[in-house]
Structure 1
Amino acid sequence: MQKLLVKPSVMVVQPTGDINASNANALQQQLEQAVNSQPNSFVLVDMSHVTSLDSAGLMALVTAMNLAQEKDLGFGLCSLPPSIRIVLEVTQLDQVFQVFADCAACEATLS
């Protein structure tokens, strides 16, 4: 399902496979848990192992991003496969999320 990696001030969530209506709620709960964890200042979703993303998955990401913003935390995505990047571009959410090439690029930006 998902894997969590905790780095100084950054929590990385790594979902895998399809993110759709059948499992988007579980992802949203995982992301909310990451946002509510302390002392993280940034939640990064590593999308490198995601194969597809539907509207329910998008909603889980947007909801988590909004929660992070309410708590003055950063929230971003990294390692977008081409199919996921296209979904974000078509929905113009690539303009809403902070998108990084990979985890290292995010960490370099934050340090």
Structure 2
Amino acid sequence: MQTTVNYPKISVIRPQGCLNVTNALEFERDLTQQLVQHKVSVLVIDLGLVELLDSTGLMALISGLKLAQSVGSHFRLCSVSPAIRMIFEVTQLESVFEISEGDILVA
């Protein structure tokens, strides 16, 4: 389950629990919808409630980032727990994603 908070041209998606093979496709569809249909200029993914991120969830994030870049939108991650941050470090993706320290930073 996840919630989406919309601001003018800014959307925040807050996935909860596991971001894995069981829900990654739905999550990726939500990212695509925000970027393409709603044409947001900033898409923030708040990972504060994500307990588990597998390779499928990571690929959904990468797809969202690539789509955001192709449509000229900003794509940010925030509230990344130490355990989830470790995944980005091990995969050497911490420098690919814009990761904000702490809670949502839109500016």
Query: TM-score w.r.t. structure 2 length?
Result: 0.93
Question: 1:13-92 residue pairs with structure 2 within 5 A?
Answer: 13-92=13-92
User: Which deviates more, 21-30 or 53-62?
Assistant: 21-30
Partner Cα distance (1:94, 1:52) in 2? 17
Partner Cα distance (2:68, 2:2) in 1? 19
Partner Cα distance (1:39, 1:68) in 2? 10
User: How far is 1:10 from its partner?
Assistant: 1.3
Partner Cα distance (2:23, 2:15) in 1? 10
User: How far is 1:89 from its partner?
Assistant: 0.7
Partner Cα distance (1:53, 1:70) in 2? 24
Q: Which runs of 5+ in 2 are unaligned?
A: none
User: How far is 1:39 from its partner?
Assistant: 4.6
Partner Cα distance (1:47, 1:21) in 2? 17
Superposed CA RMSD = 1.1
Q: How many residues get paired? A: 106
Identity, in percent, stands at: 38
Q: Which runs of 5+ in 1 are unaligned?
A: none
**1:13 aligned counterpart, secondary structure:** strand
Partner Cα distance (1:54, 1:10) in 2? 26
User: How far is 1:9 from its partner?
Assistant: 2.4
Write the deviation string for residues 62-96 of structure 1: whole angstroms up to 9, x where unpaired: 00110010000000100001110000111111100
Query: TM-score w.r.t. structure 1 length?
Result: 0.90
User: How far is 1:8 from its partner?
Assistant: 3.0
User: Which deviates more, 77-86 or 5-14?
Assistant: 5-14
